[in-house]
Structures are given as structure tokens and as C-alpha cells.
Structure 1
Amino acid sequence: MVTMKEIAHQAGVSVSTVSLVLNNRDEGRVRGAVARHVRDIAAQLGYKSNPLASSLRTGRTHMLGFISEDVATTPYAGGIILGAQRAARRFGYMLIVVSTDGEESETAEIAALKRYGADGFLYAKMSNRITHAPSALTGMPLVLVDATDADGKIPSVESDEFRIGYDATKRLIDAGCERIAYVGCSEPLIAQAERLRGYQAALGDDGRKFDRRLTIDVLNNDPALAAVDRLFNMERPDGFFCFNDARAWYVYECAARRGLTVGRDISVVGVDNHRVFAETLAPTLTTVELPHFEMGYWAVTKLVSMLEDRPLDNIDWPRTTAPMPRLDSPTPAKIHCTLVEKHSVRQ
């Protein structure tokens, strides 16, 4: 087994320097060139860390618990877990993911993670919402993912829902659309309220008055399709901002029934960049991509900075679709989502 002493000898540095680098505690303590040299030597020699020995020495396991109701079982939001895993691996931590189906199982899963000695926790929700963290996590290092702490005390990260609505509507304005409709969601979600507010703000900044007749809030299936159909008949919009890509499908369907071509006769912008809808609709759907990977990666980085009591803003962040907010951003930290140009908006 390769030891730190052997790496130190070959790299020409002290054992303590090797320890800092290989335990990811070199930021601000070891010059970048030296740290890279140490890591290169360790890789060449095939060095493998010993988590058990490290935990016995430091009293920490380098395990993080990821708790969610739906995220772990929803392929659509799997990017949150992927981002969290990528960051955990980078900082030398292991991520343990558990999916719960109610308060009772949630309590049991958290107790199990504590027995295994998890150093800190991530608590994730589907569809950004205000939440109370489980009482079992009181006093534990904790970051919320795609959620807002009801008391505003727990660090959290979420999509900038207002900017989603603003940017999508602004894209339609820039395309020359005169009557821009909003096909929203009838559930009381943060995303619904903020995206509507962003839509209204973009119209206002362009000198337009908000017209309630151009907005509808729907759920799904036949009632949603019928509501969009009535919107076409009564208001004749030429631009549509849709709460998500699934609702954009109703717009495509109603346009086809009227012989209208999306991207020429009407313009449509969705939200999600959902693999099924955004890629299979013809023409492909211009959409705002939700930053699932970014939220997972940021949340773990924030948690590690809390656990190790060190700033990590100066790390080399991975290349992502959306820019990462600073770790010291006000809670909740908001990620400015990226509008992905495809072919459903007039050029």
C-alpha cells in the first residue's frame, strides 16, 4: 500500500503538505502548482485513501446524507443527485441517498444515516417549495436543495423563478410577439407565483399592460387542453410562455388543429428542457433549463464549506449550463437559469 510518506519523498515535500492536499484541505495553504504535483505523484503511485483510518483519526466519516421524497426516484430530477455525487467525490466525501415516502419513513431514514455517522445532510424537494426541515435534523449541518426554509435560517439553493418568467417573456418580446400569453399552473407553487411575476415584469419593462385574459392556470389532460383551446379562440395570442414543457404540448396541439406552424405563426417558450417534450416536439422547443446538476453540486460544496469551516468560492467550478451563485449568497441562493434556443420561436 502506498503511503503519504512515500508520496512526500518522491514529490519533495513534507508529509503534512501531502496530507493537506490528499484530504482536500490545501486551498489557501499549499501553492496550486505544488498541490497539482502532489496529486499527480499520488495518482502515478496508485495511492488510495483509507476512509476508516481517517474517520478514526478525525472523528468524521466523510459521509453525507441526501434525503428526499421524490428526487431519488424521478429520472427527470436525477441531475440533482448527479451534481451532488460529483461534488462529494471531488471533496473526498461519500454521498448516501435515501428516498422517503412520508414522515415516518423519513424519521427512520434520518436515524439510520445518523447511526452510520453522516457528517452532514442535504434535504431535497421536488418543485421548489417552502418547507420545514425535519425536526430530526435540528442542529445538524444541513443544506436544503430546491426548497426554501420557512424560517429563513437554513442555507438553501433554488432556481431563480422570477428570472425564468422574465427571460422567457423577454425572448418572446424580442421575437416581435404582440399578444403574449402565459399558460401557468393551478397549483400554489413558488414557481407559479414567481414565473407569473417575471412575466408581468417583462411586459411592464416593455411598456405593455398586463392583461389577465391572456393568462390561464391549468393542471393537465383534457381540461388543460380545452382551456388552451379556448385561449386560442378568444384571445388569439401569437406568443406563449408555458409554465413547463408539458404544458407547451397543449399549445402545439391547438396550433396543429388550426393549421398554424409553431416557430412561424406562433412562438412558444417552455421550462424544464425535458428530454421527452423539448426534443420530440416538432419543431424542437425553446425552453429554460432547470439547474438540477448545479443545485446538487452547489449544495454539497456549501455543506462541505460548513463542515470544514473554509471558503470554497475560489475553487474551479465545473462547466455548467447555468452559472453558480457565490457560497455566501443570501438564503435562498438563486441560480439564474439558462434559456436554451431551439426552433419554436420566430427568428
Structure 2
Amino acid sequence: MVTMKQIAERTGVSVSTVSLVLNHRDEGRVKADIARKVRATAQELGYQPNALARSLRTNKIPIIGFVSEEVATTPYAGGIIQGAQDAARELGYLLITVSGDDAATVEQEVLALKRYGIDAFIYSAMSNRVVTIPQCLADYPLVLADATDRDNRFPAIEPDEFRIGYDATTRLIEAGCANIAYVGCTTPGPIIAQRGRLEGYRAALDDHGREFNEALVCNVDGNEEALRAVEHLFAEQHPDGFFCFNDSRAWYVYECAARQGLIVGKDISVVGVDNHRVIAETFAPQLTTIALPHYEMGYWAADKLISIVEHRDIAPMPNPLMLAPIPPLDGEEPVKMHCVLIEKESVRPQ
């Protein structure tokens, strides 16, 4: 673990000066250029504040509350919690997570957190959606992850759904696919992901001189009815490329291809979304997919929240778990997080 003494030796100042800077008590006491040098050295060396030491000085352990709508029980969205926890730990905070599936339960959990002295929160949804912030959170420092506030009052980060559709479709075009279908999602009410990914699909076609064909859009829910709809798409439109709303829907494409004697990755190409390891790595051939940045969104949200609480700039620290770079904390909100395409075997070679 990097110590203040090591930072002091590297920068040529006293340990007490380093302590003043890293505990945000340097204003008027340490020259600005020296403070910048100390902070830059601390970041370069990977210094992490000692939460226990801070708690002994202040008689309070700094804690963030993570309030979720079903995130804790969603296997591939749980990375949001991991990212928030890692960022909080690096900055000397603890993270306590609670989950609820209705407003009353969320309020009960939040009240419990407040009894622990928690007064800053991250709020997250199971999937990217517009949410109404519970009144019990409205008067506290709050950041949203994988969700946006209906009233746009709070900082938020979400996947760049348009870029997902654009990048997936562009990859299929670059692979030489001439007739690209979109296997989308149909559920009651508007879905941010569905709208954004479809718009990205259309824009990529347009930018590459392709005409949009409504008949190549197949929105499905699940089970036998969805399989029949994708079979009809194969029979009527003969696509050679498929952009799927998520990895689960790619299964219908794989199944229909097998029934018709077509080889995925050779006769047709498929791109999914989620990088759901159980699906993407179980399919044969393995599914090329776009990874949703759950870990990165949680990490950004914690850094953003702590920067608000401590009234200071924070530079996110990259680590091996990140597939995409963390956006700046002061970006236009809601911040759109880039999602990385993971190349596997379901897109035929160029």
C-alpha cells in the first residue's frame, strides 16, 4: 500500500504537507503548484485513502448507500454494484447495498440506511430506464446509474444505446452482409434501449447507403411465438446479418439457422448485446456481442457522488475490470457510456 511518506519522498515535501493536501485542508496553507504536484504523484502511485484512519479522526466511517431496483438479483447487471464498491473503497468509503421492487420497500430500506448516518446515495435500475426518484432520496446527494431521472434533477450515467445499434450494424456491414435484420424487443411501454438501438441500426444503414426496410425489423418477446416470428423473418426476407437486441434473442437466430442448415459465422452473421457469459460463451460458435458497461457505470457513479460530497475533482483510476474508458465526471448529462464490441466467432470473416 502506498503511504503518505512515499509520496512526500517522491515530491520532496514534508509528510504533513502531503497530509494537508490529501485530506483537502491545503487551501491557504499549501502553495497551489505544490498541491497539484502532490495530488498528481498520489494518483500516479495509486494512493488509496485509509478509511479506518479517517474514521478514527472524525469518529464516523464514510458510507455510501446503493439503492437498487432489482439490480442485486440480476446476474449480469450486478457489475454496477461491484464497480461502485471498488471506486468507493479506493476513495476510503464503504458501500452498503439495499434493493427493493416497489416504492414502499425502497423507502423502508432508505430509512434504514439513514439510521446508519448515510447521507449520499447511488440509485440504479435493473435495466436502462427513466425513473421517478423516491421522495425519501430527493433532498440528498444522489447519482443515478443505468437510469435517468424523469425530472432531470440528478447526475446520471447510462449506456449509449444509439452507439450500440450503430456499432453492431456497422460491424455487420463491414463483414459484407447485404441484408441486415434487427431482432428487437416488444414489451408494454417505451424502452430506452429499444428506441436507441433501433435508431442506431437505421442510422448505420443510412450512413452506408443502405435503405431501411421495415420488413427486416422483427420485434419479439419470448418463447415459441418469438421463434415462429424469427422463422418467418428467415423465410420471407432471407437476411444474412442479424443485429439482436440482446444475447437471449440471438438464440432464436441460432435455432432457426440450425433448422435450415445454415452455419452461423459462415452463411449468416450475428451480433448480440449484453456479453452475458452464460449465453455468449455457450453458443457454438461463440457470439460476437456488445458488452454493457455495468462495472464502469457503477464506478463512475461512485466517483461522481464522492466528488459532490467532498466538493472536489476526482480522476477515475482505470483497472483491468474496465472494458471501456470512464467518461469525465463533468460531461453532459445524462452521460452516455460507450459500449465495447467483443469479437468472437458469429460474424463471418471479412
TM-score (norm 1): 0.89
Q: Which residue of 1 aligns with 2:229?
A: 227
User: What is the distance in 2 between the residues matched to 1:37 and 1:298?
Assistant: 20
Of residues 146-155 and 287-296 in structure 1, the stretch that sits farther from structure 2 once superposed is 146-155
Supply the AA of the counterpart residue of 1:128.
N
Q: Which residue of 2 aligns with 1:155?
A: 155
Q: Which residue of 2 aligns with 1:324?
A: 326
User: Per-residue displacement from partner, 1:280-333 (whole Å, max 9, x unpaired)?
Assistant: 0000000000001000000000001111111113x5333421121111111110
Q: Which residue of 2 aligns with 1:291?
A: 293
Q: 1:262 aligns with which of 256, 261, 264?
A: 264
User: Per-residue displacement from partner, 1:179-227 (whole Å, max 9, x unpaired)?
Assistant: 1000000023100000000000000001111100000111111111111
Q: Aligned to 2:88, what secondary structure does the other structure show?
A: helix
In the superposition, relative to structure 1, how do residues 27 and 261 fare at CA in structure 2: closer, same or farther (>3 Å)? farther
1:49 aligns with 2:52: yes
Q: Which residue of 2 aligns with 1:114?
A: 114
Q: 1:28 aligns with which of 26, 32, 36?
A: 36
User: What is the distance in 2 between the residues matched to 1:301 and 1:12?
Assistant: 28
User: Per-residue displacement from partner, 1:256-281 (whole Å, max 9, x unpaired)?
Assistant: 00000000000000000101110000
1:98 aligns with 2:98: yes
Of residues 70-79 and 193-202 in structure 1, the stretch that sits farther from structure 2 once superposed is 70-79
Q: Aligned to 2:172, what secondary structure does the other structure show?
A: helix
In the superposition, relative to structure 1, how do residues 4 and 271 fare at CA in structure 2: closer, same or farther (>3 Å)? closer
Q: Which residue of 1 aligns with 2:182?
A: 182
**Residue 103 of structure 1, CA deviation:** 1.2
Q: Aligned to 1:302, what secondary structure does the other structure show?
A: helix
**Residue 27 of structure 1, CA deviation:** 7.2
| Structure 1 residues without counterparts, runs of 5 or longer | none
In the superposition, relative to structure 1, how do residues 27 and 151 fare at CA in structure 2: closer, same or farther (>3 Å)? farther
| Structure 2 residues without counterparts, runs of 5 or longer | 27-33
Q: Aligned to 2:77, what secondary structure does the other structure show?
A: helix
Q: Aligned to 1:146, what secondary structure does the other structure show?
A: strand
**Residue 17 of structure 1, CA deviation:** 2.4
Q: Contact 2:318 / 2:325 at 8 angstroms: preserved in 1?
A: no
Q: Which residue of 1 aligns with 2:212?
A: 210
**Residue 14 of structure 1, CA deviation:** 3.9
Q: Contact 2:67 / 2:122 at 8 angstroms: preserved in 1?
A: yes
In the superposition, relative to structure 1, how do residues 90 and 130 fare at CA in structure 2: closer, same or farther (>3 Å)? same
Q: Which residue of 1 aligns with 2:274?
A: 272
Q: 1:301 aligns with which of 300, 303, 315?
A: 303
User: Per-residue displacement from partner, 1:10-68 (whole Å, max 9, x unpaired)?
Assistant: x972435235437899973725447878969x9xxxx8733543333xxx641000001
In the superposition, relative to structure 1, how do residues 28 and 77 fare at CA in structure 2: closer, same or farther (>3 Å)? same
Q: Which residue of 1 aligns with 2:19?
A: 18
Supply the AA of the counterpart residue of 1:255.
A
Supply the AA of the counterpart residue of 1:291.
P
Q: Contact 1:77 / 1:292 at 8 angstroms: preserved in 2?
A: yes
In the superposition, relative to structure 1, how do residues 161 and 27 fare at CA in structure 2: closer, same or farther (>3 Å)? farther
User: What is the distance in 2 between the residues matched to 1:48 and 1:238?
Assistant: 55
Supply the AA of the counterpart residue of 2:38.
V
In the superposition, relative to structure 1, how do residues 48 and 97 fare at CA in structure 2: closer, same or farther (>3 Å)? closer
Q: Which residue of 1 aligns with 2:198?
A: 196
Supply the AA of the counterpart residue of 1:262.
V
TM-score (norm 2): 0.88
Q: Contact 1:287 / 1:340 at 8 angstroms: preserved in 2?
A: yes
**What RMSD, in angstroms, separates the aligned Cα atoms of the two structures?**
2.7
Supply the AA of the counterpart residue of 2:294.
H
Q: Contact 2:22 / 2:39 at 8 angstroms: preserved in 1?
A: no
User: What is the distance in 2 between the residues matched to 1:337 and 1:276?
Assistant: 19
User: What is the distance in 1 between the residues matched to 2:311 and 2:345?
Assistant: 46
Q: How does 1:66-77 map to 2 (within 5 A)?
A: 66-77=66-77
Q: Aligned to 1:173, what secondary structure does the other structure show?
A: helix
In the superposition, relative to structure 1, how do residues 304 and 48 fare at CA in structure 2: closer, same or farther (>3 Å)? closer
Give the number of aligned pairs: 334
